Amino acid sequence: IQKQKLWLEGQLFGSPGAILFRGFGVSNAEEFARVVEAFGYESMGYRAGAARRKHIVGPVYTNNGLDAETELGFHNEMSYLADYPDLVVFFCEVAPPPSAGGATGIVQGKAIYNRIKKEFPEFTEDLENKGLVYYNLRSEESWKRVYETNDRAEAEAKAQISSRTLLWLDDGGVKEILSKGTRKGIRELESGVHGNNKVWFNSIGSAKPWFPQFQYFEFSDGSKLPAKAVEAALKIMDEEQVSVEWQAGDIVVLNNHSVLHKKHAAAPNTPRKILVSMLK
């Protein structure tokens, strides 16, 4: 990796934006950590999200804590924050059987943007100009678990550290706004290593199947996302994707600026263990 770093970065920050390493004999989290560290980037933690990640070793975390049969749609990692990873690195420690599902889909943000702009130009303009507000709706039990306290003031202080805002609800729950300000749902990649073009950059795809009314996203003016446009975008993502059918030892590196990823559902109780590292 160190000897080929310039070539690897050319692939990651140009086109196609993703690399699959297969057959290199990586077998556990410790070996994966050494691979990640060879890239020479800073490791990022994970904050303000819905996933239940656990730290394992060095830059390595568990993936998302979801059951095998649960699907998680296309998204750019931590796109709801001002500070998000440049690279996302996945490692397959335990591969699902070939016929059981559980692949990881990847899709280029440029392909999504180019197609959805033709079908719903006003939608893409709103994503770029109005921007998105991301939020979670947490029950009383959930926010107490997440913030490890029963005290609202302490929870608010902890939330502020990660740029979150808590709006308390009458039922004891909370509307947890994930970042201050708004996040553009369409980004223009900077000239230089990233190229110079507009890409789809958001987490709208992860709304399905958990949030069928898309209530966890809204435009900065409080207006709702148009359901028809969102459904069209989800369809485009599935049509444009490439699926990584995991084999044990596989490592996939993604440019998080330009490539989205998705967890496909697997059969119930399917063995599958994917680890992740997020780099800046």
**Each residue of 88-120: pLDDT tens digit?**
999 999 999 999 999 999 999 999 999 999 999
Residue 196 has pLDDT above 60, yes or no: no
Give the pLDDT band of residue 214 (cuts 50, 70, 90): very low
pTM: 0.90
**Each residue of 64-92: pLDDT tens digit?**
878 889 999 999 998 988 889 999 999 99
Give the pLDDT band of residue 49 (cuts 50, 70, 90): low
Q: Average of pLDDT values for 164-171?
A: 94
Domain boundaries, given as residue ranges, for the chain: 1-130+183-280, 132-181
Residue 124 has pLDDT above 90, yes or no: yes
Would you state the pLDDT for residue 182? 82
For residues 259 and 106, what is the distance between their CA atoms, to the nearest angstrom?
7
Would you state the pLDDT for residue 231? 92
Burial 21-60 (b: 16+ CB within 10 A, else e): beeeebeebebbbebbbebebebbebebbbeebeebeebb
Q: Average of pLDDT values for 191-214?
A: 70
Of 177 and 211, the one with more pLDDT? 177
DSSP string for 146-205: HHT-S-HHHHHHHHHHTT-EEEE-TTS-EEEE-SSS-B-SEEEPPSSTT-S-EEE-SSGG
Mean pLDDT over each residue of the chain, to the nearest integer: 91
The pair phi, psi for residue 27, each rounded to 5°, is -125, -15
What angle do helix axes 140-147 and 152-161 make, rounded to 10 degrees? 60
CATH of domain 1-130+183-280: 3.60.130.10
Residue 211 has pLDDT above 60, yes or no: no
Would you state the pLDDT for residue 187? 94
**Each residue of 225-238: pLDDT tens digit?**
998 999 999 999 99
For residues 137 and 213, what is the distance between their CA atoms, to the nearest angstrom?
13
For residues 205 and 84, what is the distance between their CA atoms, to the nearest angstrom?
17
